[in-house]
Amino acid sequence: MTATFAFAVGIRNTNGAGLVLDCLYPAPVMHPKGAAADAAASFSAGTHVLNDTLLQTLISTAPELVPASLVAAQQSCNNQHELIAIRLTADEDIGSTEEAYLKLHLLSHRLALPNTLNLGGIFAHLPNLAWTSAGPIEVTDLSQALLNARAQGLNLEVFSVDKFPKMVNYVVPTGVRIADASRIRLGAYLGDGTTVMHEGFVNFNAAALGPNMVEGRISQGVIIGAGTDLGGSSSTQGTLSGGGEIVISIGEQCLVGANAGTGIPLGDRCTIEAGLYITAGTPVMVVDETGTQVQQVKARELAGQSDMLFIRDAKTGQVLCKTNRKAIELNDALHSHN
């Protein structure tokens, strides 16, 4: 029997032309065990529309795969909203919109960490849509939808035109605070105790492991560790564009100051002062604990090290790296989201 890599039951939304717009999976699983594995294995790889018989069989054999809320919602499904089951037997390139949404859900449900899933093909299988107060609409249908709404005395609000929706319309992780939901894409991983303020942004396949205070940008592929604080408008360099190949991560109890950023991985207990952006090629003078200059290096040579303090020399503007042995402590009261 071929093992199941991931399995989910959800609602697929299509338009009148049959284009899959999005999918909602309230309880996806990875590597199911026991009865859940047997139930998943009863389906071949791919996507299946669930009739009443298949649905009842799933509910009777593995009820954890079919939440009661999903069963209730199934009563309202129509030709454009179908109850489906999807089974992946291997972590291969994405081959459908249903698969793309499943992998994004796995990340936001905290079932997989960024950079551990094969997301090859995701852009090809996510349609560019208008995300509106009435749900996703194909861009070519938007003008007519706006006119239809206006004719009925309704206001159809368009929030964005994008391939990725905001996470909270699909997954709301426990123990988090999000000031502006539009800045968290589906496929983001937010750990317990994480606060994302209005200027914070978390891309798909990016993570704040929690607890974290995020007031800056976490780019695709970037992971920040527990206790790390990203100051207002700070940023982390991603690899989606520009040819970057270094996957950035920031360890635990770090501080990236306001308007600062990093293009190199950082270990634990590192600080970058406000307004200072460290790139791989930044010349850095390494200074020991006595204040003695040790050597000048490119920042990439310090990648991944812990207990580093990056500051600028007040007189020369030269970037210095000093040992920083004082861990940054976050305010516990800010990260209790029960």
Residues involved in catalysis: 215
Six-digit token string for 268: 């634990």
User: Cα–Cα distance between 16 and 268 in angstroms, integer?
Assistant: 52
Please count the residues of the chain: 338
For residues 189 and 236, give the distance between their C-alpha atoms in angstroms, rounded to a whole number: 16
Instruction: Give me the residues paired with residue 49 across strands.
Output: 84
Burial of 128 per CB tally in 10 Å (0-12, 13-18, 19+): exposed
At residue 320, what are phi and psi to the nearest 5 degrees? -115, 150
3-state helix, strand and coil shares in percent for the chain, rounded to the nearest 5: 20, 30, 50
Distance CA 95, CA 11 (A): 18
Q: Which two tokens stand for residue 120?
A: 């090859």
First-to-last CA distance in the chain?
Answer: 42
d(CA 37, CA 52): 20
Alpha carbon distance 266, 46 (integer Å): 40
DSSP state at residue 223: E
Q: Kindly state the tokens that stand for 31.
A: 């590597």
Bridge-based pairing state of the strands 29-30 and 293-298: unpaired
